[in-house]
A = this chain, B = another copy of it.
Amino acid sequence: MAAYEELSKEELLKIKSELEAEFEQVKAQGLKLDMSRGKPSTEQLNLSMGMMDVLNSSSDLVCEEGVDCRNYGVLDGIREAKQLLADMMEVPKDNIVIFGNSSLNIMYDTIARSMTHGVMGSTPWCKLDKVKFLCPVPGYDRHFKITEYFGIEMINVPMTPTGPDMDMVEELVSTDPAIKGIWCVPKYSNPQGITYSDETVHRFAKLNPAAEDFRIFWDNAYGIHHLYEDKQDYLIEILMECKKEGHPDMVYKFSSTSKISFPGSGIAAIAASTANLKAIREQMSIQTIGHDKVNQLRHARYFKDIHGMVQHMKKHADIMRPKFEAVLSTLEREIGGLGIGSWLSPRGGYFISFDALPGCAKKIVAKAKEAGLIMTEAGATFPYGKDPQDSNIRIAPSYPTAEELKVATEIFVLSVKLVSIDKILESK
């Protein structure tokens, strides 16, 4: 198909009129579809229902270290949960602390603690005139919301197919002591599905920050969330890499079982150096007597070990893969070659990122909404909700059924075409 840009005004108007008719037809169906959030589908949730049976009133609820999980005690996680999440996060068991149900909550608490108490003895950030974070874009809206909430200035760093623009990261981090952190989703990134290359990870580990309290916030949310058994991305483990380069304290790594067992009822963890964990435990011992050990035990006994978890993730993949492929094939078939958008084909994670013509994202999302399709708000993938190009749209294919997804993608594609034609017509 010829690119829209190359078509005459008349040809475009003709296409537009056909598309509008199609759009009105879909709209008339009064659909309610949602591709806005990375929520697992009901089918995926059903995969973990066995978790509801693994503990019952006859179970011995004593964990490996001999503690009754029903009572107070054990601040930083029971041994078997630590082992499971350590294997999942590819770090030694002693470099992990288990928290509650949400890795986002750990990240929030980490920033909050840095604000009031600094980082391993540094000046509390709330006492500084200016604190800045680097934000690879497009990225995860909830990361950006945390730094925004604490009044931390966010600096956009463009993503490339191999990770953030590392020239820019190195330059900024090494020269500006106000830069205290960078948000990273290093594997199957949100929203693009990009995995940081070996070179990118090496360059991260070799950073020489101007600020001693600079930390890499490494949110490895999709570490084992592959779509394929035979085509998997590989990410170098950052803790070991930083240690090798003489910067053992420079990174916090976060993860959870939210998209493995049940979102909101899983377990989350932070992995970091011994020195970092010491500061974290110190705060933790003030903040709580301990997190939910029964739920930790439930997870450990259900998955048994990392192999059990990997097998479980294959079942998720079997559900997710056709959804990704359905969206991607429709995009390719309907938009490929038209010159009105670009996207990548991720091998894992929860999202597909679509870059529309500049100035079109908000209009496309609004257009889709007209026909009953909720997309992630345009701009959400950028700090302050401001996409300078108004171009990026995050597609979340996980939650709708296959049937819904088909219609949803059709609405999306129609919306992209209609808004893009208008944009191109402006300059004709």
Determine if B71 and A45 form an interchain contact, defined as CB atoms under 8 angstroms apart: yes
Interface stretch, picked from A17-25, A108-116, A188-196, A330-338, is: A108-116
Task: Choose one: B68, B104, B142, B150; the contact of A42 (CB below 8 Å).
Answer: B68
Determine if A286 and B146 form an interchain contact, defined as CB atoms under 8 angstroms apart: yes
Residues 138-191 of A at the B interface (beta carbon under 8 Å): 142, 145-146, 149-150
Determine if B71 and A263 form an interchain contact, defined as CB atoms under 8 angstroms apart: yes
**Which B residues are in CB contact (< 8 Å) with A359?**
none
Determine if B265 and A149 form an interchain contact, defined as CB atoms under 8 angstroms apart: no
Q: Confirm or deny: A29 has a beta carbon within 8 angstroms of a beta carbon on chain B.
A: no
**Which B residues are in CB contact (< 8 Å) with A40?**
71
**Which B residues are in CB contact (< 8 Å) with A100?**
100-101, 291-292
Determine if A288 and B104 form an interchain contact, defined as CB atoms under 8 angstroms apart: yes
Bound form: Cα–Cα A290–B289 in Å? 20
Given contacts A100-B100, A116-B126, A262-B70, contact A149 B294 (CB under 8 A): no
Per CB-CB distance, the 3 closest pairs between chain A and chain B, nearest first, are A265-B294, A49-B57, A108-B287
The total of chain A residues at the interface (CB under 8 A) is 56
Residue contacts A-B, CB under 8 angstroms, 17 given: A40-B71, A52-B56, A52-B61, A69-B264, A69-B265, A102-B289, A108-B286, A108-B287, A115-B116, A115-B126, A117-B149, A124-B126, A126-B126, A142-B289, A145-B286, A292-B292, A292-B295
**Which B residues are in CB contact (< 8 Å) with A68?**
42, 45
Closest residue of B by beta carbon distance from A286: B149
Determine if B265 and A292 form an interchain contact, defined as CB atoms under 8 angstroms apart: yes
Residues 255-293 of A at the B interface (beta carbon under 8 Å): 258, 262-265, 283, 286-293
Determine if A70 and B50 form an interchain contact, defined as CB atoms under 8 angstroms apart: no
Bound form: Cα–Cα A165–B29 in Å? 69
**Which B residues are in CB contact (< 8 Å) with A262?**
70-71, 294
**Which B residues are in CB contact (< 8 Å) with A427?**
none
Q: Confirm or deny: A321 has a beta carbon within 8 angstroms of a beta carbon on chain B.
A: no
Task: Choose one: B56, B59, B142, B292; the contact of A56 (CB below 8 Å).
Answer: B56
Q: Confirm or deny: A389 has a beta carbon within 8 angstroms of a beta carbon on chain B.
A: no
Bound form: Cα–Cα A53–B52 in Å? 9
Determine if A289 and B263 form an interchain contact, defined as CB atoms under 8 angstroms apart: yes
Q: Confirm or deny: A39 has a beta carbon within 8 angstroms of a beta carbon on chain B.
A: yes
**Which B residues are in CB contact (< 8 Å) with A59?**
52
**Which B residues are in CB contact (< 8 Å) with A126?**
115-116, 124, 126-127
**Which B residues are in CB contact (< 8 Å) with A263?**
70-72, 289
Given contacts A52-B57, A100-B101, contact A108 B265 (CB under 8 A): no
Q: Confirm or deny: A37 has a beta carbon within 8 angstroms of a beta carbon on chain B.
A: yes
Chain A 236-270 near chain B by CB (<8 Å), digits 1 or 0: 00000000000000000000001000111100000
Closest residue of B by beta carbon distance from A49: B57
Q: Confirm or deny: A105 has a beta carbon within 8 angstroms of a beta carbon on chain B.
A: yes
Given contacts A115-B116, A115-B126, contact A264 B287 (CB under 8 A): no
